[in-house]
Amino acid sequence: MRVGRGVSIDRREKLIVLPHNLGVGCPQRFRLAARGRAGLKGPLSVALCALLLAGCSPGATADPLRPPLTDRGNIQLPKEVSQPSFDLVTLDPRVGRLYLSHSSVDALEVVDVQARKLVGSVTGLIGIKAIALSKDPKVVFTSNSDGTVAVVDVPGLKVVKRVAVGRSPDAIEYDPAHDVILVALAADKKVAFIDPTTQVVVGTMALPGAPELMDINEKAGVVYLAIHDLSEVVVIDPVTRSIVKTLKGCDISKPTGVAYDPDQNLLFVASSGALSVIDVLIEQCRGVVDIGHGTDQIAFNSHTHHVYTADASSKHVSVIDTISLKPLGVTGTGPAAATLATDPTTDMVYVMVARAGIVAVYHDP
């Protein structure tokens, strides 16, 4: 159905499709309704399109000649003989430390973001994948491909304990609401729960498919975990260690990164080329924003209310405003930049450009 100014409604897919010439600040697709509800009809559809067009007027769009992030240089890491590889990154704003999973040398790299330099490495972490913080900023937990989670003394730059968790540990997060570490086991299709005080596994939970990344909703006391092969996100209750909801629809397809905005109650789910937006209170799709391809890790800044997506295949970072749900543009990063972190206390964004072995540093804006 065509409603004017190049705007059309795809009732089969329940999409409002906007023309590409409206500018880089305008999403090209909006979902009409939540999963299981009928699409909008008649005058209501036209009114909604008019509102979307008003919001995408030239005054509301991003400036295509001005990148949304300001380049603040690079943090060079020690050069390798072979091509370096890195996985997920984590930032602790309490102490200004950026933790890097340096998988090609089996090491955790610790970067002082204020001094902008590497301050130490913890070696012997076979196939390190990701890092989780804890309530003690001196202790972090790493997931490793050898089936362990390592407990790391950060000031001492040493492993104090290795916890056997299962096959192929990958994403790992700390849930401060319940003081528990969750680690996704890709090969086992499970989640393991670790008590950070006793440093032992206190339980596991089966998953319906292969897990990807996760984020925490402290207010609701739940965890959102992307299930890659089933194109869905499961909602986990860490207390009962069970799945309480499953989120599907929007344009969720082989999802990777997830990020939650507690002020808007919105969950952002990254697929290749699309960022789905879900209102978790009413379990309704709010829209789909175009992003780059090859996206892995995404991050939410609670100060700017921006989501950043590391679009490795497109060689850039996409920036999306979580209030207006408009893309603010992209900033080029170079090849193999698939992971990132942001600091809401400084509005800095740190992108791991793996192939170059550098951390690209940006400020928002």
Global confidence as pTM: 0.85
Domains in the chain: boundaries: 2-60, 70-363
**pLDDT tens string 285-332:** 999 999 999 999 999 999 999 999 999 999 999 999 999 999 999 999
**Structure tokens given for 168:** 């192929």
Average confidence (pLDDT) over 51-56? 44
The domain defined by 70-363 carries CATH number 2.130.10.10: yes
**pLDDT tens string 189-216:** 999 999 999 999 999 999 999 999 999 9
DSSP for 82-96, please give it.
S------EEEETTTT
Q: Facing residues of 275 across strands?
A: 270, 289
User: Going by DSSP bridges, is the β-strand pair 306-311/316-321 parallel, antiparallel, or unpaired?
Assistant: antiparallel
CA distance 235 to 229: 16
Query: For 34, phi and psi rounded to 5 degrees?
Result: -75, 165
Amino acid at 338: A
Q: pLDDT at position 206, please?
A: 98
Average confidence (pLDDT) over 165-191? 98
Q: How far is CA 144 from the centre of its chain?
A: 20
CA distance 239 to 243: 11
Give 171 or 52, the one with higher predicted confidence: 171
Give 63's pLDDT tier (boundaries 50, 70, 90): low
Does residue 280 have a pLDDT over 70? yes
For 130, what's the count of Cα atoms within 13 Å in the CB-facing half-sphere?
25
The fraction of the chain above a pLDDT of 90, given in percent, is: 81
Among the residue ranges 17-31, 32-46, 70-84, 312-326, the one predicted with the least confidence is 32-46
The owner of tokens 């559809």 is 45
User: Going by DSSP bridges, is the β-strand pair 97-102/107-112 parallel, antiparallel, or unpaired?
Assistant: antiparallel
